[in-house]
Amino acid sequence: MKSIHSQLLAYLTSEGETRPVRTPDDWAIRRRQILAGMELVMGKLPDRSSLPPLDVTVTTRCEDSGFVRLSITYPAEGSDRVPAYLFLPKDRPAGCRVPAMLALHQTIASGKKEVAGEEGSPNLAYAKELAQRGYVVLAPDYPSFGEYACDFTRDSFVSGTMKGISNHMRGVDLLQAREEVDPGRIGVIGHSLGGHNAMFAGVFDPRLKTIVASCGWTAFHYDVLAHWTSERYMPRIRDVYGLDPDRMPFDFHEVVAALAPRAFFSSSPLRDQGFDIRGVKWTEPKAREVFALLEADDRLRICYPDCAHDFPSEVRHEAYEFIDRTLRHSV
């Protein structure tokens, strides 16, 4: 199929002709083509019609200020189970459903422990901080981190990225099934690895109404594509597309635009040594055209803090206020 990924406001007809995107219906066609481009690199999103029962195993429970934290595992596909922390607010009024957040960690051996505030940077303890704000929070380990042993060469996925997306969608299933959670008010937040996985999960799962990424992305022409090619991520970028951004069938202007009209907040630091800020600034005006088309201009917020690869307190709390507003939560 002819590629049109460089033209955000254009789509291909079934006859292979290029047409301009002028209406939300046109955009819906273009969005489907974005997902198809992502699947060329990541592999197909698995069929979700025959997933195993959503049984949750609780291994430990601990009390903290304002919440209870459970150590759990939940089923992914087949016999695979995802280790995670589940944070439950203590002061939830009886019968009241609250919003929930999926909290995804960065590339760190301890996995979910950092977002829980147990190890690592205090600037990345957003699972714990959101729980203290009254959210139900699920913080899973990404495959091969924390307690999650994973052999990517023996599973059925083309990429670790799609395995992560599939696991995160199961996490949304879990949250929607909880009696504490309002199933229509669920979002996702992450830093670095967790940042782009929050975006990828948001593209494939429309149940995620608010997406927050701290670092984690830039346009591919401003990146080193070899960094994306381990078995944990997307080896087809090397094996099929030759590390060539011109051959890639998707890019991050499409990923951001595909989140519209839902809410997206990005903290993209000016001195991020891992993700070139120039690619973010190239992306923003293109994505804004789509948010404007869908009358969601105020749902896209990209900020540029003067720091390195971090999620500093003032920006993190701006993100929390954005989440509160878009998920209609009062602290």
Name the band, by pLDDT with cuts 50, 70 and 90, for residue 92.
Answer: confident
Q: What is the secondary structure of 88-151 as a DSSP string?
A: EES-PPTT--EEEEEEE--S-TTTHHHHTTSSS-GGG-HHHHHHHTT-EEEEEPPTTSTT----
Q: pLDDT digit string (tens) for 140-182?
A: 999 999 999 988 888 889 999 999 999 999 999 999 999 999 9
The pLDDT of residue 186 is: 98
Residue identified by tokens 């002819």 is 2
The pLDDT of residue 331 is: 84
At residue 157, the 3 state secondary structure works out as coil
d(CA 318, CA 222): 27
In 10 A of CB 141, how many CB atoms?
23
Q: pLDDT digit string (tens) for 241-293?
A: 999 999 999 999 999 999 999 999 999 999 999 999 999 999 999 999 999 99
- Cα separations in angstroms, 79 against 55, 155, 178, 185, 248: 12, 11, 22, 29, 33
Q: pLDDT digit string (tens) for 37-47?
A: 999 999 999 99
Name the band, by pLDDT with cuts 50, 70 and 90, for residue 3.
Answer: low
Residue identified by tokens 């974005």 is 34
Q: What residues are paired with 137 via a beta bridge?
A: 87, 101
Phi, psi of 20 (to 5 degrees): -75, 145
Mean pLDDT of the chain: 96
Structure token pair of residue 259: 């989140």
Q: pLDDT digit string (tens) for 22-31?
A: 999 999 999 9
The pLDDT of residue 154 is: 83
Residue 108 confidence (pLDDT) above 60? yes
Q: pLDDT digit string (tens) for 211-229?
A: 999 999 999 999 999 999 9
